[in-house]
């Protein structure tokens, strides 16, 4: 009886979880051209692209190659990047203590051979930073948001669950 329950539990678990990525078909190689930038944040689209390429290289599920050799192309656009007050305190005047840096990238996964768009999705990412009179905290927040965006995108494409 115990063996039967163990076998049943294992079969249920194996049917619930998939250890394959979300990329359909025979996609084994991926091109990641530099993201377009529709935001006012100079240089951020290049940073996101570079971090994404490193993330895919580190993951190793899909090989990053040139567009002419790729099964699919990841076309990205940085659509928005902004800073907004997050926490403030009031007194004789309102003082902002923390800001929220946020960005959104629109991603299209395109099958190179056919030009078919397999999916399109917006990926938001953000981070909170304390304003300290210089931009060092903001730079850390931009790095954190970029890291989150890359993780979310990798999970979408090559997620293990």
- Give the model confidence (pLDDT) of 84-115 as tens digits: 999 988 888 888 899 999 999 999 999 999 99
**Cβ–Cβ < 8 Å for 100, 84:** yes
pLDDT at 98: 94
Residue 85: inside a domain: yes
In a domain, 161, yes or no: no
Q: What CATH number has the domain bearing residue 107?
A: 3.40.50.10610
**pLDDT by residue (tens digit) across 8-42?**
444 444 444 333 444 545 789 999 999 999 999 99
Whole-number Å distance between alpha carbons of 25 and 31? 16
- The per-residue pLDDT for 158 is 80
Q: Quote the domain boundaries for residue 104.
A: 20-150
């Amino acid at each position: 009886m115990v063996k039967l329950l163990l076998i049943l539990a294992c079969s249920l678990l194996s049917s619930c979880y998939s250890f394959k990525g979300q990329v359909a078909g025979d996609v084994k190689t991926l091109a990641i051209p530099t993201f377009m930038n529709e935001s006012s944040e100079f240089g951020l689209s290049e940073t996101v692209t570079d971090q994404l390429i490193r993330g895919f290289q580190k993951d190793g599920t899909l090989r990053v190659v040139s567009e002419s050799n790729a099964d699919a192309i990841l076309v990205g656009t940085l659509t928005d990047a902004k800073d907004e007050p997050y926490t403030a305190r009031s007194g004789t005047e309102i003082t902002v203590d923390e800001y929220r840096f946020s960005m959104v990238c629109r991603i299209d996964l395109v099958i190179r051979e056919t030009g078919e768009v397999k999916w399109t999705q917006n990926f938001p990412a953000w981070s909170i930073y304390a304003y300290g009179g210089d931009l060092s905290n903001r730079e850390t927040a931009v790095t954190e948001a970029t890291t989150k965006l890359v993780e979310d995108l990798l999970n979408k494409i090559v997620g293990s669950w």
